Structures are given as C-alpha cells and as structure tokens.
C-alpha cells in the first residue's frame, strides 16, 4: 500500500486515477484546484465505498503546496494542467507565463517539497503527466506545447540526477495523446482569443475551426482506461520506466513523425 498524492484530481485523468488507485488499496490524497470541488469529489468517491482524502491544492500557491508536507507521500502524480493555445506571434507573453506557472513552475515547486521526504526515505516516485504536445510541435499548439516540452525535458534530466544518488527514487513521464476529457475542447477554443481583426491568421480561421472539429470528433472514441493503467503501473512499480505512452497510436505516431523529421 502506497500513499499517493494527485494534483488536479477533481476531473479527467486525475479523478479516474485517484479512484482506480484507491480501489487497489492505496492511500490516495486527491487534491483539487478549487475549494468547491472538494465536497462533490468526496461524495462521489464515498458513494463507491472509497476512503479518499481530498483538499484544495492550487499548484501555483505556496500556501496550498505546503499542505503536502503533512503527508508521508510515496508517489506524487503531477497531473494538474492548463490548456492554452495560440500562435506565439500573437499570444500575450503574460499568458505564456501563466501557462508555465501552472504546468511547469508549480509542479516543480511541489516536486521539490515532496522529494525532501522521498529522498529521506530513499524510496518513492514522482510522475509527471505530459503530452505528445511535449514531443512534437504542432501549429498553434503553444504555449501548451512549450510547457509540456519543458516539463518532459526537466523530468527526464531530474531522473538521471536522482538515480546517481538514490537508486530507488524514480521520476517518470506519462506522455498522452488526445483523450476526450473535455480538456482539448476547451483548449482548442483558446487559440482564437488572440486572433483579433488584425490577426495574421484571420483568413484561415474557418479552416482551423474545421480541423478542430475533425480532431475533436476523432478523439471522442478514446476511452481513458489505457491512460489510467499507465498511471497505476508507474505508481505501483518498484522500478518505473522513464516514459509511459498512451494511447498506443500516440506511441506509434511519435516514432513515425520523428522518423520523417516532423
Ligand atoms: N485530455 C488530453 O487529451 C490530454 C492529453 C495530453 C496530456 N493531458 C494532460 O493531462 C492532465 C489532465 O488533463 P485532463 O485531460 O484530465 O483534463 P482536466 O479534467 O481538465 O484536468 C486538468 C485538471 O487540472 C486542474 N488545474 C488547472 N489549473 C490548476 C492549478 N493551478 N492547480 C491545481 N489544479 C489545476 C483542473 O482544475 P479546474 O478545471 O478546476 O481548473 C483540472 O481538474 C493535464 O496535465 C493535461 O495537460 C491531457
């Protein structure tokens, strides 16, 4: 039985992973971005007979992150994420900063905090939920893609550093292709916010919207069990891998596109 803390667990992958890990007998601490999401998550999981601890942890807030120090965490799942897209030619730099705060700086601060305990014990795992967007750049995919590139690069380097001094402390990355959690629909819509009357891209907006529709229709089909399995496998393994990729089509797509230099 492990003590597992998950961020962004009010919805999507975080919630699904919290439920699955609790069903497997782990002590799960499911944290939410917003205070008002605590009660519904507690009620839903209690109705399943699960005893999951829930509290608010906005990864960008020091006072919230500090709450994690009260727990003897074995596994940290950095799942919280913010999806913001657009062209770097037009997205305000403050918006890029905000995306980095949520997707990179907050998780790194929390990781440093939780690692103190894990390093003391010389055993434990930190998991970062990254994305195919952090391996292959896509048009209008930033700042989201930049944050996931940064997260994946940082996590992979951290793993090598930690392994030099603690063989049983692991850092893993879970790279996901698109799933229908509602995250992509919201994120795709953000790219048009920065395209005003003078936008360089005004003439192609209708085409971009058609492409979005097609992609969203396609990802409706994916169920998230493969991804949840990756989180469970990484959390439970004695020697978790550096990378887990889901769905399987994403793993193949990364290899093919890299082979063609995309
Ligand atoms: N769905 C996909 O296709 C996909 C693909 C690749 C990677 N991912 C990654 O998977 C992770 C989970 O995404 P999901 O698809 O499950 O979407 P989701 O349900 O929207 O999950 C994201 C969670 O992060 C929370 N969050 C946002 N800002 C936060 C903050 N400052 N502090 C703490 N929590 C915060 C959100 O809470 P609020 O809604 O209350 O803000 C939400 O519960 C994200 O890191 C995402 O980048 C998703």
What the chain holds in terms of domains, given with CATH numbers, is: 3-257 (3.40.50.720)
7 ligand 1 Cβ < 6 A: yes
Q: Predicted confidence band at 253 (pLDDT cuts at 50, 70, 90)? A: confident
131 ligand 1 Cβ < 6 A: yes
Q: DSSP alpha helices (H): ranges in the chain? A: 12-23, 38-47, 62-65, 93-100, 106-121, 144-163, 183-190, 205-219, 225-236, 248-259
pLDDT for the residue numbered 242: 97
pLDDT for the residue numbered 219: 79
pLDDT for the residue numbered 149: 97
Q: Predicted confidence band at 221 (pLDDT cuts at 50, 70, 90)? A: low
**Which residue has its alpha carbon closest to ligand 1 atom 32?**
58
248 pLDDT more than 90: no
- Percent of the chain at pLDDT > 70 equals 98
pLDDT for the residue numbered 249: 80
Cα–Cα distances in Å, from 189 out to 84, 143, 186, 199, 211?
9, 14, 5, 16, 12
58 ligand 1 Cβ < 6 A: yes
Name the pTM for this structure: 0.96
């Amino acid at each position: 039985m492990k003590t597992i803390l998950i961020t962004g667990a009010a919805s999507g992958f975080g919630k699904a992973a919290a439920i699955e890990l609790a069903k497997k007998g782990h002590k799960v601490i499911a944290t939410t971005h917003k205070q008002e999401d605590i009660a519904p998550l507690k009620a839903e999981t209690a109705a399943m007979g699960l005893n999951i601890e829930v509290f608010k942890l906005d990864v960008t807030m020091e006072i919230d992150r500090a709450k994690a120090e009260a727990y003897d965490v074995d596994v940290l799942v950095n799942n919280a994420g913010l999806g913001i897209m657009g062209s770097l030619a037009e997205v305000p730099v403050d918006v890029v900063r905000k995306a980095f705060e949520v997707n990179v700086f907050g998780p790194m601060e929390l990781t440093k905090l939780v690692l103190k305990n894990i390093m003391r014990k010389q055993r434990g795992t930190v998991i970062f939920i990254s994305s195919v967007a952090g391996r292959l750049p896509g048009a209008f995919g930033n700042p989201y893609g930049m944050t996931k590139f940064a997260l994946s690069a940082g996590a992979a380097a951290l793993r090598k550093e930690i392994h030099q001094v603690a063989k049983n402390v692991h850092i893993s990355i879970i790279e996901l292709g698109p799933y229908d959690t509602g995250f992509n629909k919201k994120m795709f819509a953000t790219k048009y916010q920065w395209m005003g009357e003078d936008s360089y891209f005004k003439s192609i907006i209708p085409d971009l919207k058609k492409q979005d529709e097609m992609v969203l229709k396609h990802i409706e089909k994916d169920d998230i069990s493969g991804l949840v399995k990756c989180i469970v496998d990484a959390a439970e393994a004695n020697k978790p891998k550096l990378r887990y990729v889901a769905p399987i089509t994403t793993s193949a797509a990364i290899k093919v596109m890299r082979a063609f230099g995309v």
